[in-house]
A and B are shown apart, each in its own frame.
Chain A
């Protein structure tokens, strides 16, 4: 069957980005928007916008029945969930399967298989993909035994988790009981699943993830890796591809591991396999899989020239994988900065409001994915992502320079943003050298704070 009309069950920049590919493919778009987003750019660019409920996500974007009813009501052939919200909720994928609406993404069973982090770990082990030493712990006693075996530092993670919630670092074994209780409580309230597991914490590790595309019948290709080590409290802020400083052999091994893992699942659609890279030990460990299109997908698009959303749609439409591994060529270097409406001076507090002025950069090798223009409102109910600035150049130094200029050409008035913070990171020697670990940003922030304090005291 041919997909001719897609219901977009998301908002913000990703809604707009999905609409753009649909327009290029001459597919009609129906945006399912909350009351707070009826004035948004995506709402005006979609062929039709349906108001699905009040602003609060629980009353609109998270309502599975309403989303599917909306798709049926407008006779949409398919639903694209974007990222976040319902994108990795098996219930939506399953209801779509039952109602004959195409879910643009993996099967409900695949979402379940990777959504349970312990199951995903087991899948990785079966596929011969290395995992960090660790395992399930049901009681404090078990945790103490396993903790002693692995040795600190340790991470206590939520089985149903993600995004750093329900995750606690333990540096001394005697802290295990309290950390476990805290992680369990956090996980229980955030994911409705209080189970936790234990893993070795890799000091100086880097976050490297591999983009894959699968046809659902066992064919999988990879589109290279992304380095997302610049994180603050597990929130990615800057991503780049290729990951700096990996040998060709290491790169090939990590790509292959991602393909092996997803092949075993006969994974369908676009997905990302995350790894923790320990270059000192020449090792990498499976972290988790994200069964959706990701925020940082444009840097992969920049270096490969492949529109990932168009491939997702083609796969969902039963046209399979249109690319062979040999067709995927990666050229140059791409970097993304996430511009958030948040105030670095106030511990990165969200800063919703009306954007008085929005001037975005443009030019060769610069792409901006944003739903924000002058006059746009940033409602307080959702995440604070305003835009993604993506640059692409032949090499990393040129890409960095391009990003510095792009940031300098960006002007936002009306809300606080992390623009200046990005500019500071982009001019930091350590970041410019490349290959920073996930501990880099906290260290950078501490240094920056000290410098600012010293300045303030004159």
Chain B
């Protein structure tokens, strides 16, 4: 038995109609490898059971972008933890820092609360506070930018 061009065309048509992406056939030493949709290698992982759903293309970060800095060369202070960010030591007290505050490395710029445990956040660099991004009492994520500093002032 040999494969004619017509057979191959017929096999291709069958593959096209099937649910499979590829077909390998070996008859009497003749090897036929067919693959469909090679232009679009990502296919939907269709499911008969509860999970059928669109499968998006790869992949951008889900992390929301922080507001762009108002000037170049600013240093960022990021949250070391996920938690609730507080700008002041206690409600009603003045904030640790304001825009324009001068800080050194060890200046506390805020508090992150994780289940009633208070963690102070330090500036990390000497400089002047230029922007405060995180809101008082808001949930901040790990590595979320809390504020920006103009270093070395």
- Asked if residues A23 and B53 are in contact (CB atoms below 8 Å), the reply is yes
Known contacts being A20-B53, A39-B62, A359-B43, is A405 close to B48, with CB within 8 Å?
Answer: no
The residue that A359 contacts in the complex, of B41, B57, B82, with Cβ under 8 A, is B41
Contact with A along B41-73 (1 / 0, CB 8 A): 111111111110101111111110000000000
B5 proximal to A (CB < 8 A): no
B141 proximal to A (CB < 8 A): yes
Which residues from B are CB-within-8-Å of A387? 45
The residue that B114 contacts in the complex, of A49, A65, A360, A369, with Cβ under 8 A, is A65
- Asked if residues A370 and B82 are in contact (CB atoms below 8 Å), the reply is no
A-side interface mostly = mixed
User: Which A residues between 373 and 395 are near B, CB-CB below 8 angstroms?
Assistant: 373-376, 387, 390, 392
- Distance to closest chain B CB from A183 (angstroms): 35
- Asked if residues A69 and B21 are in contact (CB atoms below 8 Å), the reply is no
Which residues from A are CB-within-8-Å of B142? 35, 51-54, 60
- Asked if residues B43 and A360 are in contact (CB atoms below 8 Å), the reply is yes
B-side interface mostly = loop
User: Which A residues between 13 and 41 are near B, CB-CB below 8 angstroms?
Assistant: 17, 20-21, 23-24, 31, 33, 35, 38-41
A141 proximal to B (CB < 8 A): no
The residue that B63 contacts in the complex, of A23, A49, A359, A365, with Cβ under 8 A, is A49
- Asked if residues A53 and B47 are in contact (CB atoms below 8 Å), the reply is no
Which residues from B are CB-within-8-Å of A390? 49
Which residues from A are CB-within-8-Å of B18? 363
- Distance to closest chain B CB from A363 (angstroms): 3
Q: Can you pick out 24 interface pairs between chain A and chain B where the beta carbons lie within 8 Å of each other?
A: A17-B51, A44-B60, A46-B62, A51-B141, A51-B142, A52-B82, A53-B81, A53-B142, A68-B115, A69-B113, A73-B83, A298-B49, A301-B49, A301-B50, A302-B48, A359-B41, A361-B19, A363-B20, A363-B46, A367-B48, A367-B51, A368-B47, A408-B20, A408-B22
Q: Once the chains are docked, how many angstroms separate the CA of A148 from the CA of B53?
A: 57
Q: Once the chains are docked, how many angstroms separate the CA of A359 from the CA of B55?
A: 12
- Asked if residues A69 and B51 are in contact (CB atoms below 8 Å), the reply is no
B123 proximal to A (CB < 8 A): no
B144 proximal to A (CB < 8 A): yes
Which residues from B are CB-within-8-Å of A95? 115
- Distance to closest chain A CB from B66 (angstroms): 12
Known contacts being A54-B142, A358-B42, is A73 close to B84, with CB within 8 Å?
Answer: yes
Q: Once the chains are docked, how many angstroms separate the CA of A357 from the CA of B62?
A: 22
- Distance to closest chain B CB from A126 (angstroms): 36
- Taking A49-B63, A50-B141, A411-B41 as given, write out 12 further A-B residue pairs in contact, using a Cβ cutoff of 8 Å, ordered by the A residue number: A31-B62, A41-B56, A49-B62, A50-B82, A52-B82, A65-B114, A301-B50, A361-B21, A367-B49, A367-B51, A369-B51, A375-B57
- Asked if residues A70 and B43 are in contact (CB atoms below 8 Å), the reply is no
- Distance to closest chain A CB from B60 (angstroms): 7
- Asked if residues A361 and B62 are in contact (CB atoms below 8 Å), the reply is no
- Asked if residues A51 and B144 are in contact (CB atoms below 8 Å), the reply is yes
- Distance to closest chain A CB from B139 (angstroms): 3
- Asked if residues B59 and A45 are in contact (CB atoms below 8 Å), the reply is no
Q: Once the chains are docked, how many angstroms separate the CA of A168 from the CA of B61?
A: 44
B143 proximal to A (CB < 8 A): yes
- Asked if residues B21 and A359 are in contact (CB atoms below 8 Å), the reply is yes
Q: Once the chains are docked, how many angstroms separate the CA of A307 from the CA of B47?
A: 13
- Asked if residues B43 and A38 are in contact (CB atoms below 8 Å), the reply is no
- Asked if residues B83 and A374 are in contact (CB atoms below 8 Å), the reply is no
- Asked if residues A375 and B49 are in contact (CB atoms below 8 Å), the reply is no
B39 proximal to A (CB < 8 A): no
- Asked if residues A21 and B48 are in contact (CB atoms below 8 Å), the reply is no
Q: Once the chains are docked, how many angstroms separate the CA of A60 from the CA of B142?
A: 9
B27 proximal to A (CB < 8 A): no
Which residues from B are CB-within-8-Å of A362? 19, 43-47
Minimum CB distance partner of A362 in chain B: B46
Which residues from B are CB-within-8-Å of A23? 53
Minimum CB distance partner of A70 in chain B: B82
- Asked if residues A357 and B141 are in contact (CB atoms below 8 Å), the reply is no
B117 proximal to A (CB < 8 A): yes
The residue that A69 contacts in the complex, of B44, B46, B82, with Cβ under 8 A, is B82
A145 proximal to B (CB < 8 A): no
Minimum CB distance partner of B43 in chain A: A359
- Distance to closest chain B CB from A37 (angstroms): 9
Minimum CB distance partner of B115 in chain A: A65
4 cross-chain pairs, A with B, having the tightest CB-CB distances, nearest first: A363-B19, A375-B58, A73-B139, A43-B62
User: Which B residues between 99 and 153 are near A, CB-CB below 8 angstroms?
Assistant: 113-115, 117, 139, 141-144
Contact with B along A301-314 (1 / 0, CB 8 A): 11000010110000
A345 proximal to B (CB < 8 A): no
A409 proximal to B (CB < 8 A): yes
- Distance to closest chain B CB from A332 (angstroms): 12
- Distance to closest chain B CB from A405 (angstroms): 7
A74 proximal to B (CB < 8 A): yes
- Asked if residues A41 and B47 are in contact (CB atoms below 8 Å), the reply is no
Which residues from B are CB-within-8-Å of A60? 142
